[in-house]
Amino acid sequence: MKSATILLPALAALLAAAGCRTARAPTTGVAIAYSAEEIAALKKIARDPRVFYMNVYREENRPPVFTDANRIYQELTVYLPFTSPAGTALPQIEARIGEGARIAAVTDTTTAESWAPLDRRRALGLEILGPEPALIRPQHVLDDVAGIAAVIPELRLSEFRVEMALVHGRAARGRLWPLTRDPRTGAADLVLGMNLLRAFAWVQWDFPNRLLVLSTEGPYGEGEAERLAALPLKSASGALAVDAVIEGRPSALILDIAGDYELCLDNPPGDIARQVSLGDVLLRRLETRDPRALGLAPGVPRLGLRALAPFRLTLDNRRKMLYIERPPDERTAPRGAPSDDLDDDLL
């Protein structure tokens, strides 16, 4: 496998809960969190997961774990074009709620959970899960608004029917921001996190060609001719993370396909990281940002969409691997000459 080097530049309307009423949702500005009374009203209508042929396991001081969610029975591969603004690589697609409403959904590999706005509970068909629902807060962004576990009974992604799609309803009136991650996708009504993305055999983001591929026909067996790196996943749960080398030092690295930046580091030592290695893929001179300045939670370094956009990424859930590939169209392939070694001054 040859190396590749690339140079990159520096709840809203009416709450349908036991007669509780809320004001109309704002379309812009800061979201208004639900009150304790509104949360209590939601808990009263929560339903036992067994009603949906699911189970729940609870451990002390940990969020409940729901099983038998995100059920998919078809064996097929579907292709969903990005619906984000032209000229961007933002991974937003169109989804449907059963045979009804069409909505915009953003895929995000930094969040373990999927997210939806509670103030659109009726339109999205959200069913609150109980009998005593626990509140959680996002771990990937700086957001104090809690989410409540719920399911969308039928979520359609092209020809796929996902039964009991497990989401967390953000308990606020207003848009799903900051969970939608970018102002250009700020009106999206759903964030598809890793819990749902791992329900497929493999998932592929072809950023230059603005295409998402979902498949239950796996494991992934294509792309070897275009493969630039094959990386074992750090974990089968949580965010999408792999091993990397940043400025000559080994490090875990989260791949953030929804974040508009190149590289995030806690308290970065400078404005530029001279080299980041992902297997045989070398990325040079990446602009570094502190995650807090972008509204992101600190911790594991993140590689953002600006660095990933020239590539095709394939998440092979069956083999627990992540492949970085050259897009099929040579006009969109990564630029730069091959390089087999680290820069001398990084050793």
| 211 or 99, which is more confident | 211
Q: Does any domain span residue 26?
A: no
- 190-202 residue pLDDT tens: 999 999 999 999 9
- Looking at the fold, whether 148 and 290 belong to one and the same domain comes out as no
- Looking at the fold, whether 36 and 177 belong to one and the same domain comes out as yes
pLDDT band, very low/low/confident/very high, at 7 (cuts 50, 70, 90): very low
Q: For residue 236, what is the domain's CATH number?
A: 2.40.70
- Residue for token digits 């939670």? 297
- 125-149 residue pLDDT tens: 899 998 777 788 898 998 888 899 9
pLDDT at 345: 39
Where a domain ends, among 203, 238, 266? 203
Residue 47 confidence (pLDDT) above 90: no
Residue 85 per-residue DSSP state: P
Q: Does any domain span residue 21?
A: no
pLDDT at 331: 38
- 94-114 residue pLDDT tens: 999 988 889 999 999 999 999
Going by their DSSP bridges, the two strands 115-117 and 160-170 should be labelled as: parallel
Give the mean model confidence (pLDDT) for residues 156-168. 94
Is the distance from CB of 204 to CB of 213 less than 8 angstroms?
Answer: yes
Tell me the pLDDT of the chain averaged across its residues.
83
- Looking at the fold, whether 153 and 249 belong to one and the same domain comes out as no
Give the mean model confidence (pLDDT) for residues 179-193. 92
Where a domain ends, among 203, 235, 251? 203
pLDDT at 86: 92
Q: For residue 39, what is the domain's CATH number?
A: 2.40.70.10
- Looking at the fold, whether 244 and 293 belong to one and the same domain comes out as yes
pLDDT band, very low/low/confident/very high, at 29 (cuts 50, 70, 90): low
- Residue for token digits 């497929």? 200
- Looking at the fold, whether 127 and 167 belong to one and the same domain comes out as yes
- Looking at the fold, whether 183 and 276 belong to one and the same domain comes out as no
Residue 332 confidence (pLDDT) above 50: no
Is the distance from CB of 138 to CB of 126 less than 8 angstroms?
Answer: no
Of the candidate ranges 6-15, 68-77, 262-271, the one whose mean pLDDT is the lowest: 6-15
- Looking at the fold, whether 47 and 166 belong to one and the same domain comes out as yes
Q: Does any domain span residue 56?
A: yes
Of the candidate ranges 16-25, 34-43, 186-195, 237-246, the one whose mean pLDDT is the lowest: 16-25
Of the candidate ranges 21-35, 174-188, 255-269, the one whose mean pLDDT is the lowest: 21-35
Range of the domain at 297: 4-9+204-211+221-346
DSSP 259-301: -SSSEE-SS-SSSEEEEEEETTEEEEEEEEE-GGGGTB--SS-
pLDDT band, very low/low/confident/very high, at 52 (cuts 50, 70, 90): confident
DSSP 220-262: ----GGGEEEEEEBS-SSSS-EEEEEETTEEEEEEE-TT-SSS
- Looking at the fold, whether 255 and 143 belong to one and the same domain comes out as no
Distance CA 289, CA 313 (A): 23
Closest CA to 204 of 216, 212, 215: 212
- Looking at the fold, whether 240 and 326 belong to one and the same domain comes out as yes
Give the mean model confidence (pLDDT) for residues 263-283. 92
Give the mean model confidence (pLDDT) for residues 153-174. 93
Q: Does any domain span residue 216?
A: no
Q: Does any domain span residue 169?
A: yes
Give the chain's domain count: 2
Residue 122 confidence (pLDDT) above 50: yes
Q: Does any domain span residue 104?
A: yes
- Looking at the fold, whether 191 and 331 belong to one and the same domain comes out as no
Residue 230 confidence (pLDDT) above 90: yes
Kindly list the distances between the CA atom of residue 26 and the CA atoms of 102, 143, 168, 186, 277, in Å, as whole numbers in the listed order.
Answer: 21, 18, 20, 13, 44
pLDDT at 255: 97
| 226 or 166, which is more confident | 166
Residue 34 confidence (pLDDT) above 50: yes
CB-facing half-sphere around the CA of 29: CA atoms within 13 A: 7
Where a domain ends, among 170, 203, 236? 203
Residue 76 confidence (pLDDT) above 50: yes
Q: Does any domain span residue 111?
A: yes
Give the mean model confidence (pLDDT) for residues 156-171. 93
Q: Does any domain span residue 15?
A: no
- Looking at the fold, whether 148 and 194 belong to one and the same domain comes out as yes
Distance CA 16, CA 8 (A): 49
| 218 or 228, which is more confident | 228
- Looking at the fold, whether 193 and 232 belong to one and the same domain comes out as no
Residue 336 confidence (pLDDT) above 60: no
